[in-house]
Each structure stands twice: as C-alpha cells, then as structure tokens.
Structure 1
Amino acid sequence: MLTRFRNLALLLGAFVVFAGLASAQTSGVEGIVKGADGQPVKGAVVKFDRTDIKGHYEVKTDKKGHYGHYGLPLGTYDITVEIDGKMADKLNKVRTQLGDPITENFDLKASQQQSQELAHAAATGTLSKDQERSMSAEQKAAFEKQNKEREATIAKNKALGDAYNAGKAAMDAKNYDDAIANFEKAIAVDANQAVIYSQLASAYEANAAAKPAEAQAMRDKEFEAWKKAVELAPTEAAYYNNYALALGKAKQIPEMQANIEKAAQIDPSNAGKYYYNLGAVLMNSGQNDPACAAFKKAIDTDANYADAQYQYGVCMVSKASIGKDGKVVPPPGTIEAFQKYLQLKPDGVNAEAAKAMLASMTGAVSTKYVNPNAKPTSK
C-alpha cells in the first residue's frame, strides 16, 4: 500500500441552513492518475469512501488518465486508486468543498519514491525538512510515536540478544548455572521465543548431570522448558523429539511415545529417526517388545535407514527359538533386516556384527566376532 502524506489546504465553503428545508449540497474531485512509468493510466478505478457518514462512490480514468466525480455529497473522503484490482495509492481525509472541484492527482512514481523516503525516515528516526513540512500535526505525532516504539524495540532486541548470546557462551564453557541465569534473563525480556526455552531446557539437562543431588529438580525445570518450547512452536518437530528424549531418560515412556508420534506426524521425512530414538530408549531400558515395534516403525517409514534395520534385527534375535535340529529359528524378517543393513552399509560399524548374526542363523562361518548386543544410541 502506498500512502502519501500531504498538506491539505482546502477552502471550506459557507452554506446557509433554512429552517424546515434541506437542500442537497454537492461537490467534486478530479485529477490525473499516472503509473510508475510516469504515463497516464487508463481504466484505473478511483474509489471515494466517505468517512464522516456512510457513502461509497467510484469512477474510472479515461485514456488520458483523467478522472472526475462532480456529484459527491459535501463531506470527508478516503480516496483510493486501484489498478488491475490492486490498491496502488490512497489519500486519507480529503475534505470536499462547494463550488469548483478540488484537484487530487496521483503520481505512482512520485508516491513510490516518497514511500521509500518515508520508510527510510521511519527506519532511522529522522525526517527531512521537506517531510516535516508535508506532515500535519497528527502525522508528526504518529511519526514520533512510531519512532519511540522503534527505539524501544531496538533496545529490547539488544537486551534479548545480549542475554541469549551470554547464555550460549556459558553453555560452551560448561558454566551451566550462568547459562540458566542468562536464558532466564532473555525470557524475562521476551517470553515468546521458543528457541530460548529450548536452550534453557538443554542447560537444565546438563546441570542435572553435573549436580546429581539436584538432578530431579533440574529435570522438572527442563520438562517445563520443553513444554513451553513446544507450546510456542507447535510445528517444530525437533522440539518434540528432544523433549521425548528427555522424557525417555527419566523413564517416562508413555509421554515419550506421545511426543515421538507428534514429531513423526509433523515431519514425516524424518519419522524413521524419531522412531529409532524411541526404540533405542526402550531397548536400553529393557523393554524389548516395545523396542522391536518402534524399530519396525522406523524401517516401515524408511526402509533405507540402515541403523534401524540392524537394531530391528538385533531386537528380533531375542525372540528366536531353537529348532529340533538344534539350529536357531529367527522370527520372520530378522535375516532380511541384517541383510538389508549389509546392503546399505557393507563397511558400517555394525557390519561384522551383522555378519556374525547371519552366520549363527544360517550356518555360515564368521571370521570376526563383534558383540551384537551393544546398546544403540539415539540419533
């Protein structure tokens, strides 16, 4: 929207009111509409919206860009120019007069330049002398108010940035108490930044590990921070995933599963990673059956997720039985999971372990033994 500030030196026509008799008093407005290229605009729609009482009128420009409405009721109007259905320029509070029509030209090229100059003035808080002269007292007051708000915003952003950066620096230096204090300070400046709550949660997590005696209290505050982060950024899957991992460490498994599911719904492209993380926590806490289900979800979501294939195979081995011939009888899908892992990562860190597991199930000879029961880590 391009809005111009103008001095409106309009002559107010005198009129006489006769008792018991109301006479219609009309006025007129005309002018030229020029486009951003400086040429007259044909077919532009000029709209007159009366602001003192309800009233709406429209005219179109001719081939010379001229418009004119000569039967407007005397009053105050907002005049809008539309080109191709889009507002191109606007004048507010134009007061019409009796007698000759007033002239209001629209020069979009000049308006754009003036708009850019005003935007620069708003950004710097400094008006040129010409801009000051062109403004009414109300417009100057509005500009000064905007300038004060701008200065307040700059000060707020500086305080926010300083506190946040100090918190990050303290985290890097492993000064977790200082990190927490600075992130809390940043939140006091602006309590609607999800990323700050995310960093605060991480600081509490680190402090819980560093201070075992205070771990429970730190974890409670960590969970509060994660809850606030996902509340403020409900479409940020990473926050749900990280919150879920924190819950998993505290063995709050149902809550962890709920947040993993939420992350997978929001970010299907990384759902395999989220389900893998769930499976890792479940397996490491001795919950084998739910872990198998989580790893299965991971590979169903992403069949090329090699680590999930391997961990699913390991998980399913625990369900194997011994046949009458003394051979291992793995559940369906177990061998295929190890084979898929080797196809995807023939030189992966779990490649030898996968070969060993396949050998134990198929009778092939393994040349190297690697512990297949090593605990998986979250991604």
Structure 2
Amino acid sequence: MDAAALTKLLTPAGWELLNALPPYDPAQAMSLAAGLRAQGVDPELAAAAMTQSRLRAAARGKLGEFADRMLFTQDGLEQATRLVVAARHAQRYVDAGVTRVADLTCGIGADATGFAGLGLAVLATDVDEATAAIATVNLMPFPEAVVRHADGLALDLAAEGVDGVYADPARRQGGRRVFDPRAYAPPLDDVWALRDVVPAVGIKVGPGIPHAGLPADAETQWVSVDGDVVEAGIWFGPLAPDGPGRSALVLRTTTAADGAPRTSARTLRQAAGDPEPEPEVGPLGRYLYEPDGAVIRAGLVAHAAAELGGRLVDPTIAYVTTDSPAPEGAGGLAAGLATGYRVLDVMPFGLKRLRTALRERGVGRLTIKKRGTAVVPEQLRKQLDLRGTAEATIILTRIAGAQHVVVVDPVR
C-alpha cells in the first residue's frame, strides 16, 4: 500500500468506510466497488478499503478475530506469524525473564502483538515507512508497545533498556520468496551477531533453511500447525533453556466438547553433541506412518520411528512402518506426530499392474501420495483412467531400494 492510499484510509471517514464494509466476498467484490464509486467515494480510498477487506478476510486463518481490526500489506500478511505460534514465541521471552523486547523487523506487527499481549514492553521497528505506520495502527491497543520507522540494527540496545531481541528478516522481494539467508533483509549474520550485546536473541526464518551453517550455540526449532510447516526459529541464550540442538514443534487444533478450539503440542528434540539414533530398517508392516513435516525438516525421523515403535521402510525415505497401531498417547499420534495408514496391499510399481489392481477395487477417486519417486501424480492419474465409484489412497515410495505402490486406508 502506498503512503497516499494509507493516509486516506486512516482518516476518520476512511476508517469508518473500511469497518462498515460487509464481510469480504470475492463474488461480490466488483459490484461492491462499483457501488462505492457510484456513491461518490474517492476511487483511491475505495480501492484501499476493498484491498484491506480482502486481506483481513485472508488473515483470519492466521490471526483469528484480531484480523478484523488490523491493517495489512500483501507481503506482510504472507510473512506474518500465526497467532498460536506468536504466543509461543512470546512465552519464550517471558520464561527467560525478559522485560523489554526489541522487534527489529516488526512488519505488520503480528509477533509484537504476541509480546505485548503477554505483558512485555515492546520496541518495534521497520525500515519501511508505510509498514511502520500499519504496525502502529495494529499495536494501538497496547500502550506498552512503541513503533518507530527505523533500522532496528542501528538501535542502541543498552540505552533503550532492551534485554531481548527478536527479528523476522524479510524473505520476500516483489512477492517472491528469498531462500538464501545472506539475501534476507537484514542478513542473518548481522542479526545473530547481536547476541554479543543481548544474549536473548530469537530469529524467525523460513522452514527450508539448510542445516549446514546453522549456529552451533542455538536451538533451531521447526514448527508445524495442523500439518503445515510454517517456520523455523533460531533461539539463543536464555531463549533456549534446554540448550543448543534441533527440535520440532507439532501443533494441532482440535475442537473440545464445548465447541471451543484446543491446541495440542508435541516436541521432538536432538540435543547438540548427543549421538544421532540409528533407526531400524526393515520390511513393510501392517501400518505405515508419515512423520509430520516439521519432524522431517528437523531431521528427526529416526526419533519419530522410536516414538512410534517402528522402523524405516528404506534408509533414505521418511516413512515409518509398524506391525501394530502406534499408541495414541505415549506414541504421540494423537498429538500429530505422524499421519497413519493401514496397509491394504503392496506391489512393485508398474502402470499396468496398478491400473488392474485399482479397477478390480472399483476405484474412481484416487488420492496419490509420494516420497522418493519422480512420478507426477496428475500424470499418473490420467494414465490410470479410473472410472469406478470407490475411493482409495496409494503411496508411491521406495521400499528396500525399489519403487513400490502401497494401497492404504487412513487411520481415523
């Protein structure tokens, strides 16, 4: 959003217009915009209000009802931390005894909202003037939060009374993801160098960050929410109370009997310096489990196999197999450690063989999962030319080094 449009939106008339718009409906967006113009609403203001209405609707999945009073940019929304994860970030600082956090790259203010919501004083900065203005609006309910249009790396942390630092470096340029940590804004090296000044430093990074080059004195934690790997966090000093290492945090949302949402959490961890477990590799059993994406990204598949009481079907593939159902409590399945499948059939991969097997089952609707194979699911689905009424799920993967098809039924 440019400064002129933002200025118009932040006038009393602009703010009233935005908050008076009906819930965003893409099917009605064009007619609503035309109606606003017909009423004499300034076209730039109407466009800005409609854009914010669309972004608020898109943000509800991340920020819940908080989104209905916030402003956004497209890049800011895409990079914003989900509310359930931001709360866990903030809890790290509270548990570490931090009292004033400098959010060096606050964006639209999602994490700063989490910090302030737990009672921490916040100094939030952003180098983009419009983004800093948006963060100021979003943090208005929290008097203990201050936003500045400034370069966070230029702050005198000691003079500001800061005892905790957080950064979420920009990983998008012109709508495109940036994967090289050296190209983040600011670069990762510049941020984690601040631990020499303030030991409690936390940095949010993309979940695809390579393990090579991660700092040895930090905990790096990959986080998933309802099966979607959303981030990795690098935590230094008192923000990593269990010490350096790699961990996976798996968050799952369920609905309680009273209809309220509940979040369950499961953590796997490999401490720095501890020997890596050697996973058992063996034949396919009666059940197949796919570890959560955060577990896989963290390199903790062997840990998941031990928790599930199983073995790998191939030393290079992240599938765990068991001869009996994994326990839902101690094994962590109920908390989302892995997605389970009951094995119905297995065969070497071959198009003709697979087509025959599925047609014999009357399969017309097919879910295709894959790991360790170059097969393109959409191309395979067309080649199978299935016309039945039954549903089925197949997993294409390597077993003992050879390509196989496993026909499965999801464990409910």
Q: TM-score, normalised by structure 1?
A: 0.29
Larger Rg: 1
Q: TM-score, normalised by structure 2?
A: 0.27
Q: Which has the higher strand share?
A: 2
Q: Which has the higher helix share?
A: 1
